């Protein structure tokens, strides 16, 4: 019997208009968007549907926006395919909160509010540090780590073979890109982000996030949730909280997380939320895995048909 894992999108996947066609087509989707607005006390839905892009891209809007859009996709798949069983969840960075919420570790409202605050705290950290990130394409992990050590930056995301992301002070990122190209990287591209996520420059967000998580009831997840920090399943509720705080400054070990699931016999993966970045990573990790996604009405219909 094939095992199914749900994968949840991370920051950078946001796009103006996300969820709009789903809300128009499905009353359930509209109800979740309304519920999110009520929980947050502002119209996040309007920002997701209509932008402007400058507003949606703000970390404090992008993070809860992606969480919400991914949650709506999750709820619609469950509604359309009531027999669907999933045995694990995982999410990229912010998506790990969606993964935990989908596994029953926290309520929808709590997950959404924590993610909104996480976005605010990370934005505040960005504002006081001059940080940046860059994608390193076509260079192995070991030489990339050497580049990081030489330039004084860190490895932030280990996404898939041939795609790594580095993070640190903006000037050092420029130097690291030059060094990576000199070592044979096909490309070294600075990313359009507000700061140095998953690096020590985000440390000021950790204490605030810890306090926020302390106000939330965290339960043991109903299925395995793979942790970005360890690339292993989360443990007890107090450990979940500690790992999620740690995650803010730690590397996202995505490729390892997926390889762990593959080794456990998972053969079907459903990416939930805007974009198809995680599907792209999967192609580089294991082409033989069945990869579905839900980002809009069209992809929902394809996925429902495949699951039926």
* Active site members: 93, 198
How crowded is residue 49: how many other Cβ atoms within 10 Å of its Cβ? Answer: 19
Phi, psi of 156 (to 5 degrees): -95, -45
What's the Cα-to-Cα distance from 52 to each of 23, 35, 37, 121, 129, rounded to whole Å? 19, 22, 17, 22, 26
Alpha-carbon distance of 248 to 246, in angstroms, equals 5
Alpha-carbon distance of 196 to 198, in angstroms, equals 7
Alpha-carbon distance of 237 to 219, in angstroms, equals 6
Alpha-carbon distance of 221 to 257, in angstroms, equals 17
């Amino acid at each position: 019997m094939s095992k199914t894992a749900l994968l949840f999108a991370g920051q950078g996947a946001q796009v103006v208009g996300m969820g709009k066609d789903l809300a128009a087509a499905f009353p359930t989707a509209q109800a979740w968007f309304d519920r999110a607005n009520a929980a947050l006390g502002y119209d996040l839905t309007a920002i997701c549907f209509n932008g402007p892009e400058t507003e949606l891209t703000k970390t404090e809007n992008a993070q809860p926006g992606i969480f919400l859009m991914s949650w709506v996709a999750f709820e619609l798949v469950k509604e359309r395919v009531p027999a669907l069983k999933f045995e694990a969840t995982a999410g990229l960075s912010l998506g790990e909160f969606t993964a935990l919420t989908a596994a029953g570790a926290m309520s929808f409202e709590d997950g959404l509010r924590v993610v909104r605050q996480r976005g605010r705290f990370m934005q505040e950290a960005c504002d006081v540090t001059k940080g940046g990130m860059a994608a390193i394409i076509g260079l192995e992990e070991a030489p990339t780590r050497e580049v990081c050590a030489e330039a004084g930056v860190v490895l932030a995301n280990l996404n898939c073979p041939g795609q790594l992301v580095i993070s640190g002070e903006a000037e050092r990122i420029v130097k690291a890109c030059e060094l990576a190209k000199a070592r044979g990287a096909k490309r070294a591209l600075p990313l359009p982000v507000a700061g140095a996520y998953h690096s020590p420059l985000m440390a000021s967000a950790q204490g605030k996030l810890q306090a926020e998580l302390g106000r939330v009831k965290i339960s043991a997840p109903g299925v395995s949730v793979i942790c970005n920090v360890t690339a292993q399943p989360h443990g007890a509720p107090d450990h979940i909280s500690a790992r999620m705080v740690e995650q803010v400054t730690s590397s996202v070990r995505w490729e390892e997380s997926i390889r762990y699931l593959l080794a456990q016999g998972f053969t079907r993966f459903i990416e939930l939320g805007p974009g198809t970045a995680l599907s792209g990573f999967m192609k580089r990790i294991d082409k033989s895995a069945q990869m579905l996604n839900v980002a809009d009405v069209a992809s929902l219909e394809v996925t429902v048909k495949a699951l039926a």
